[in-house]
């Protein structure tokens, strides 16, 4: 039941990101409008959005508060520079973000995406170490299966092989912790998995190998999203925090996916009680309506930059669109919705229902693991004999044809509905998903 291209849109010229271009263009899936929990496809079908777009529309689609704020702002002032100039909105937004951020992370640097946030965070970490006289700390530690976007910094600390292997040498001086996916011990765990805290101790091994005096920062997603919803074992993040603090290594949380209520609370740092030195976010910051990212930084890091002559630029970094007025307007309206509708709490309130619903799929063909927390889930399938990723793609395709948008990562299907989701929509999602899984075979 593939769709045709729109009469006004040729398939030829758009080089689609992270897409099998030829396959897609032969059997396209086009979306035309969106409202609440649903997309309308170009053939008129309603498609239940099981992924909040791409993990970003946490308040649901078509929020008038956001589109009105955006159109008002673009008419009032479309752009203003923030290099040696300013306008009120990023100051206002930074204050709002500091108010919901983990304790002590009160300084905010604006970017336009998750990738830029990751690279900005790494640069802040390196420049901070130099600013405090620890200039030999240039190594960065990421983790296997991590995704920190597609810039050279984020790609280098990232750990998804396909995202790296075509691009030659990565940033020098990067090492990786082992990932925490462990089906043998943790398959079908409810909540955070019990086994695997010792994988954080691998950091001690890297410290011995490289010397703490050479390591600037460790970056992890508190929960890996893109690699297929990989949860932190109980105690793992705490252990990373202890080891980094002991050795003067900064801890960076990439919360591009986990931020803004996805796992309950504003950030995973708060849900799991571990405060990093730097936290990156994007996506849900503006409900996906306008591109924007942010890096939240601990006060003591910012203070270390503010020591030289006052006329000197303290951090030679920034983007033309850092603190863009229209993006700020979208973000302010979004944050107001989250607060007024208490949406972060909804992920916690719905968590048990969501978990039970997901576990009802446990006995379907080829399901080898189900992982859930907050309003996220990963369902992993046994790989098809024809290759890794085939079954995941088939489930994704079948679901779309039945009217449900899910996200495939290899043979794992990820779900991350908007936080406005109702129980009836969760039930509908599970029915469509079960059908899609059976059909995919
Ligand atoms: N970091 C994480 C954890 C992500 O999940 C993503 C995107 O999915 C990124 C960074 C990159 O964000 P963007 O695609 O906005 O550059």
Measured in whole angstroms, the distance separating CA 79 from the mean position of its chain's CA atoms is: 27
CA neighbor of 86 nearest in space, from 322, 255, 327? 322
CA neighbor of 315 nearest in space, from 86, 121, 35? 121
Q: Contact at 8 Å (CB) between 340 and 198? A: no
Examine residue 14 and state whether it is found in any structural domain, yes or no.
no
Phi, psi of 181 (to 5 degrees): -80, 125
- At 193-215, the pLDDT tens digits run 999 999 999 999 999 999 999 99
Of 318, 340, 362, the one marking the end of a domain is 340
> Taking phi first (over 0 means left), then psi (-120 to 50 degrees means alpha), and beta for anything else, what does residue 137 get?
beta
- Closest-CA residue, ligand 1 atom 1, reads 148
Q: What is the pTM of this model?
A: 0.98
Q: Is the CB of 160 under 6 A from ligand 1?
A: no
ipTM over 0.95: yes
Q: Is the CB of 226 under 6 A from ligand 1?
A: yes
Q: Is the CB of 253 under 6 A from ligand 1?
A: no
CATH number, residue 38: 3.90.1150.10
**275 and 382 in one domain?**
no
Of 282, 311, 340, the one marking the end of a domain is 340
Separation of alpha carbons 48 and 51, rounded Å: 9
Stated as kind and residue range, the H or E segment containing 404 is strand 404-405
Examine residue 103 and state whether it is found in any structural domain, yes or no.
yes
Q: Is the CB of 147 under 6 A from ligand 1?
A: yes
- 3-state SS of 350-363 is HHHHHHHHHHCCCC
DSSP 298: E
Phi, psi of 216 (to 5 degrees): -85, -50
Position in ligand 1 atom list of the atom nearest CA 255 = 3
Cβ atoms < 10 Å from Cβ of 409: 21
Dist. CA 148 → ligand 1 center (Å): 6
Examine residue 3 and state whether it is found in any structural domain, yes or no.
no
Total number of domains in the chain: 2
Share of the chain above pLDDT 70, in %: 99
Q: In whole angstroms, how large is the CA radius of gyration of the chain?
A: 22
Query: What is the token pair recorded at 161?
Result: 């092989």
Range of the domain at 49: 21-59+342-440
**354 and 331 in one domain?**
no
Position in ligand 1 atom list of the atom nearest CA 113 = 15
Examine residue 119 and state whether it is found in any structural domain, yes or no.
yes
- pLDDT at residue 1, as a whole number: 47
- At 140-150, the pLDDT tens digits run 999 999 999 99
């Amino acid at each position: 039941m593939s769709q045709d291209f729109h009469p006004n849109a040729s398939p030829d010229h758009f080089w689609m990101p992270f897409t099998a271009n030829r396959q897609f263009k032969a059997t396209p899936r086009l979306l035309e409008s969106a409202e609440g929990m649903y997309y309308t496809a170009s053939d008129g079908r309603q498609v239940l959005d099981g992924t909040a777009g791409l993990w970003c529309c946490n308040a649901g689609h078509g929020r008038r508060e956001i589109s009105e704020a955006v159109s008002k702002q673009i008419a009032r002032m479309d752009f203003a520079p923030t290099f040696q100039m300013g306008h009120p909105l990023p100051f206002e937004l930074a204050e709002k973000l500091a108010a919901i951020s983990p304790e002590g992370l009160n300084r905010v640097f604006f970017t336009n995406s998750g990738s830029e946030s990751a690279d900005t965070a790494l640069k802040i970490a390196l420049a901070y170490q130099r600013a405090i006289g620890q200039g030999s700390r240039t190594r960065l530690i990421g983790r296997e299966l991590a995704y920190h976007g597609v810039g050279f910094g984020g790609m280098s600390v990232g750990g998804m092989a396909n995202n790296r292997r075509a691009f030659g040498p990565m940033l020098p001086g990067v090492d990786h912790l082992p990932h925490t996916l462990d089906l043998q011990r943790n398959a079908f765990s409810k909540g955070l998995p019990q086994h695997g805290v010792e994988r954080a101790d691998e950091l001690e091994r890297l410290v011995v190998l490289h010397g703490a005096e050479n390591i600037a920062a460790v970056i992890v997603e508190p929960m890996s999203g893109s690699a297929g919803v990989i949860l932190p074992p109980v105690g793992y993040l705490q252990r990373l925090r202890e080891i980094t603090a002991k050795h003067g290594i900064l801890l960076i949380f990439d919360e591009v996916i986990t931020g803004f209520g996805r796992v309950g609370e504003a950030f995973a740092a708060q849900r799991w009680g571990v405060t990093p030195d730097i936290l990156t976010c994007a996506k849900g910051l503006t409900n996906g309506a306008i591109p924007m990212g942010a890096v939240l930084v601990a006060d003591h890091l910012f203070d270390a930059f503010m020591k030289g002559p006052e006329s000197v630029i303290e951090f030679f970094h920034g983007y033309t669109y850092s603190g863009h007025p229209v993006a700020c307007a979208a973000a302010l309206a979004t944050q107001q919705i989250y607060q007024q509708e208490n949406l972060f709490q909804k992920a916690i309130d719905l968590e048990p229902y969501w978990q039970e619903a997901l576990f009802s799929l446990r006995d379907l063909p080829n399901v080898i693991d189900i992982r859930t927390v907050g309003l996220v889930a990963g369902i992993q399938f046994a790989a098809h004999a024809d290759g890794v990723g085939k079954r995941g793609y088939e489930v994704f395709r079948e679901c779309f044809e039945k009217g449900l948008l899910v996200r495939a990562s290899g043979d794992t299907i990820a779900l991350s509905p908007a936080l406005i989701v109702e129980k009836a929509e969760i039930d509908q999602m599970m029915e469509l998903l079960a059908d899609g899984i059976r059909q995919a075979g």
